[in-house]
Amino acid sequence: MKRIAKWVLGTALVLVALLAGVAVALEHWIGTGDFRARVKQRVTVLVGVPVQLGRITVDVWPVPAVAIDAVQVRSKPALTLERIEARPSWPALLHARLEITTLVVRNAVLPEQAITAIAAVLRKKQGPAAQRTAPPASAIGATPLPRRALLEHVTWLPAKGRGSTIDAQLQLDPDGLPANARLEVREGRWQGARATVDRGQAGWNLHADIGGGTVAGKAQLQPGPKGSSIVQAQLETSNVEVSALTAPSRTLTGRIEAHTTLHADVTGGGSMADAMHSQTRFTVRNAVVHGIDLAQAVKTIGMNRGGETALDTLAGQVVTSGRAVALNNLVATSGMLSATGHVALAPDRSLSGRITVDLAAGAAGGAVGVPLSVGGTLDAPSVTLTRGALLGAAIGTMVAPGVGTGAGAKLGDKLGESLRGLFGR
């Protein structure tokens, strides 16, 4: 019995020594410049953009993995990753198949423009037919995608606006679609936000904690025209600080309740932001519009920048198409004033629109229906009377000083509209 035990122990020690020797030899071979150059060439051909690689190592303990340090994809702008670890499936390797069970990415910077450019190169290499059609689920499942991904301190830089640094994990189902995902924003635009995605029988359940409230709903993946894939979602926003959603802009603060429907073509050529379309009905309670004072704009009959407008409620609809945003059917109320109107936000963050303001009795003579043009930018909004309103206010002041400001502005605006209709301008 002792002899058998010694034989088993000796055999185990020999196997461990052989495995250690193979690991050391493999690590030495992989770490050579020749191997690194070949990997660099293969990856460069694959992504269609020059790639720079640092050290390549093999880790046996605690989990077998291959790691690459200091990865730089030299797109414009560059995409950088401090470390990538790929943990293979050893049973698959024994059957001569490469399957990555877990992919770990640490300290990466991913510019949206770089991702879009690389995706465009890959679609071009696939040919016109591949660009027009989306791969079926079976084809997605057949690709060697990692079943699990861990992202540690990964920074996403959008084409415009402030970036965000996240920690996340993602688990894929056999069909290549997400089974579940967890995400936490460590730094940047939505710092402190947490989100989860879990797959159910009819789609995915979404939940996010942000701005002291929640955003929750369901999403589905539907077939679109010409073989495309469309994401559709219904979301409910409850008691969220609205500036947490619009950060870093704080033009509007208050607690928002909203219902949103959205859809996006996830197989299109552009970014997700450009492909997304949504409609939202919202109400903001205890709202404050920072950067403009509507009451002061009416009282002074001129442009207003700075100050703020406190409102009991602000309600309306938001329609987005790509990066363009339209706020329609706006209704604002407070003890001092009420207002209605519409405002458009262009992709360059410039504002345009029109608001009609009614002041309560005792404020600027109880002005009613004073039209204001909205301008400036999201971070520096401004309002001023329309040209017709300015003319009417001036005439009203000359005819009846102290009385004709609000009424004259309204009359002048109506006169201006009539003249434009008469002369077609």
Long-range contacts of 360-365 (CB under 8 A, 24+ apart): 360/335, 360/336, 363/295, 363/299, 363/336, 363/337, 364/295, 364/298, 364/299, 364/405, 364/406, 365/402, 365/403, 365/405, 365/406
pLDDT score of 389: 52
Q: For residues 357-382, give the mean pLDDT.
A: 78
Q: What is the pTM of this model?
A: 0.74
Strand pairing partners for 383?
304, 374
- Per residue, the 3-state secondary structure of 131-183, as one string, reads HHCCCCHHHHHHCCCCCEEEEEEEEEECCCCCCEEEEEEEEECCCCCEEEEEE
Q: Is 165 exposed, middle or buried (0-12, 13-18, 19+ CB in 10 A)?
A: buried
Q: pLDDT tens, 83-133?
A: 988 887 767 666 656 677 888 999 999 888 888 777 777 777 665 544 444
- Band (pLDDT 50/70/90 cuts) for residue 390 is low
Residue type for position 366: G
pLDDT at 406 over 60: no
Q: pLDDT tens, 275-316?
A: 789 999 999 999 999 988 888 887 776 666 778 999 999 999
In the chain, the percentage of residues whose pLDDT exceeds 70 is 70
| Helix/strand/coil for 61 | coil
In the chain, the percentage of residues whose pLDDT exceeds 90 is 32
Of the listed ranges 165-179, 223-237, 388-402, the least confidently predicted one is: 388-402
pLDDT score of 142: 40
Q: Which one of 297-311, 332-346, 383-397 scores highest in mean pLDDT?
A: 332-346
| Helix/strand/coil for 197 | strand
What mean pLDDT, rounded, does the chain reach?
Answer: 77
Bigger pLDDT: 177 vs 16: 177
Q: Which one of 294-298, 368-372, 376-380 scores highest in mean pLDDT?
A: 376-380
Q: pLDDT tens, 183-192?
A: 999 998 889 9
